Amino acid sequence: MRKILVTNALPYANGPIHMGHLLGYIQADIWVRAMRAMGHDVTYVCADDAHGTAIMLRAEANRISPEEQIAGVQKEHERDFAGFGISFDHYDSTHSDTNQARASEIYLKNRDAGNIAVRPVSQLFDPEKKMFLSDRFIKGTCPKCEAEDQYGDSCEVCGTTYNATELVNPRSTLSGATPIEKSSDHYFFKLPNYEKYLQQWTRDEGRLPVSIANKLDEWFEAGLADWDISRDAPYFGFEIPDAKDKYFYVWVDAPIGYMASFENYIKTKRPDLNFNDYWQKDSQNEVYHFIGKDIVYFHALFWPAMLDGAGYRTPTGLFVNGFLTVNGQKMSKSRGTFIKAETYLAHLNPEYLRYYFASKLSDKVEDSDLNLDDFIQKVNSDLVGKVVNIASRCAKFINKNFNDTLSADCAEPELVQSFVDAGEKIAKSYEAREFSTAIRQIMALADKANQYIDEKKPWAFAKVEGNEQQVHDICSVGINLFRQLAIYLAPVLPSLAKEVQSFLKLETFDFASRTKILTQYEIATFKPLMQRVDKKAVDAMVDGSKDSLASPTPTPQKAAKKVKPTPPPATADETIHIDDLTKVDLRVAKVLAVNTVEGSDKLLQFTVDLGEDQPRNIFSGIRSHYAPEDLQDKLVIVVANLAPRKMRFGISNGMILSAGGEKGVFILSPDSGAQPGDKVS
């Protein structure tokens, strides 16, 4: 029996759980349930990520304390997770005494080991709110195109990126005041101290998906930089030891929350467990983090470095899931496809979604699409039409004609045994997180069971007197086959599994229990187990989701400057001539690498091949529309003769062309066959 600790990425305590979140939590829960069904000792913990400026400001806007704010959100999160059958052993908050003590300990051990540096950092400061401002809390006029109401890191009109101090007429979005430039000491974790260690760690077998390890190589090639781990007061979080008015950046104590949640679980519910058995350096127990691909950087670089620096073990592995789209597009409030967990639960059975996600998920770091038409068809066809239908067709004969009791002998021992034997491959698929493979294997068995019943036609035998034994035997075999399918689906459909376990009067429902064939066995009266998905309910869910995530934002204490109206379409006086166009050198480029940019939530950093001696570096503000891995090796069109722009992140030497509209932003690409350096005309 393996001893395993599993955690999920911590949801931020500043908003509701939605479908995009649930993809990762359902994936982890299915794996946990499957591993438990195989007989392993699995502990599953999580917590709300409860710190940061955003939570402080939301509480202020709601006129409550941050503690009240996070407590209310945590109740909602726990309610929604329970609604979807997420089986956490313990759900905590990063705002706990245990987490503060553990975070301080890890920091001090790293400080004593020489992994902490202190140096001044210059930032914009709001003189009215008395706080330093991140880029998203600063707006002003773009220094390039003079567009007004632009954020502090890039212009949404012309695409220029800049330092917030370069904005013309900057203002704080929190108070409306004009910010001033001010310096303060910041604390840094010396990540370069662990460069060689992390290069090896990320390549250890089974530690990370290969595609993620390959992506991380780009960070090593660029050279790791010190990580700013402090924020100035006012800030909702934990104060750094021996550093007055300096607070841990939220990403310091968030992953430590995994340890603290486990520690609090031991204190409150499982005193038989030992914290050090899982977290000490030489521990042979396993620790796995299920996370989204957008937070790999923190979990695969900062987290193991901090742990090692403090003398703790590092995770056995990181299991990474992609993003979720709905109907092939980014989730949208206006289209009603940005669906809250609460809204879904008001209209549909949560096990429908668990099954659909399972049918899509694998161990690959791939995005998943929730196609609502396919969702309806797959659930109705597979679960209702194939699996539940077996019990419905057979149980009525057992209940009505044979005193609720299965036949004394199994009429098809080889067929039933083949279903039992199939459990070995299905279990391996679950363990490897190849859920879609497991679902295909289970549905192949369901097809086989239905084929058996269709060929034997118990309903036809039942019409002829004297065929009672054949009917009894056929339906008893059918119930045994259904039982096997329900056991295999139990990690995905825990509520259905409980109902089946009750219907079959079984004490255990784990994988090992499948080996005993049910003969001369009494079952309960069959009751309908699952209803078909009603398209009207899906439509009602979509309608109920339109603009459902709109939330209040802090009200500025000063009125912001008025934004100029959008300029009208070009008039005849604003037209350009062919000579103007010929000045623009458009060329085909191949994307060699794409990285997110630390310190910016909008920028991606491209390395592109333009057919020149050296690749070019280009920044583009499309991070909210594309994941970096989706752009690898893509052909794009670049303005090759644009003057280089110096930004705080580096030099951008060109512009990648894209088109935008109501449905999003789309990179322009040439047809296949184009080569880097080809001129676009």
Q: CA angle, corner 195, sides to 189 and 198, nearest 5? A: 100
CA 437 to chain centre: 21
Taking a C-beta distance cutoff of 8 angstroms, is the pair 93, 70 a contact? yes
What's the CA dihedral at 137, 244, 60, 254 to 10 degrees? 80
**Binding site annotation covers 463?**
no
> Token pair for residue 240?
């750094």
User: Looking up tokens 């075999």, which residue turns up?
Assistant: 477
**Binding site annotation covers 410?**
no
SS3 542: helix
C-beta neighbour count of 446 within 10 angstroms: 23
Distance CA 441, CA 74 (A): 38
> Token pair for residue 476?
């008893």
DSSP state of 174: T
Taking a C-beta distance cutoff of 8 angstroms, is the pair 300, 212 a contact? yes
Q: Classify the C-alpha dihedral 114-119-123-126 as positive or negative.
A: positive
DSSP state of 555: P
Distance linking the first and last C-alpha atoms of the chain: 65
Q: CA angle, corner 327, sides to 365 and 323, nearest 5? A: 25
> Token pair for residue 406?
């299965």
Distance CA 336, CA 329 (A): 12
Residues forming beta bridges with residue 175, ordered by sequence position: none
> Token pair for residue 664?
């999003």
**Binding site annotation covers 145?**
yes
Distance CA 43, CA 90 (A): 9
Distance CA 256, CA 249 (A): 12
**Binding site annotation covers 46?**
no
β-pairing, 3-8 vs 286-292, is: parallel
At 151, phi and psi to the nearest 5? Answer: -70, 170
**Binding site annotation covers 142?**
yes
Distance CA 631, CA 592 (A): 9
Taking a C-beta distance cutoff of 8 angstroms, is the pair 633, 590 a contact? yes
β-pairing, 645-647 vs 650-652, is: antiparallel
Residue 378 amino acid letter: K
Residues comprising the binding site for Zn(2+)?
142, 145, 155, 158
* Known binding-site residue numbers for ATP: 333
Annotated binding-site members: 142, 145, 155, 158, 333
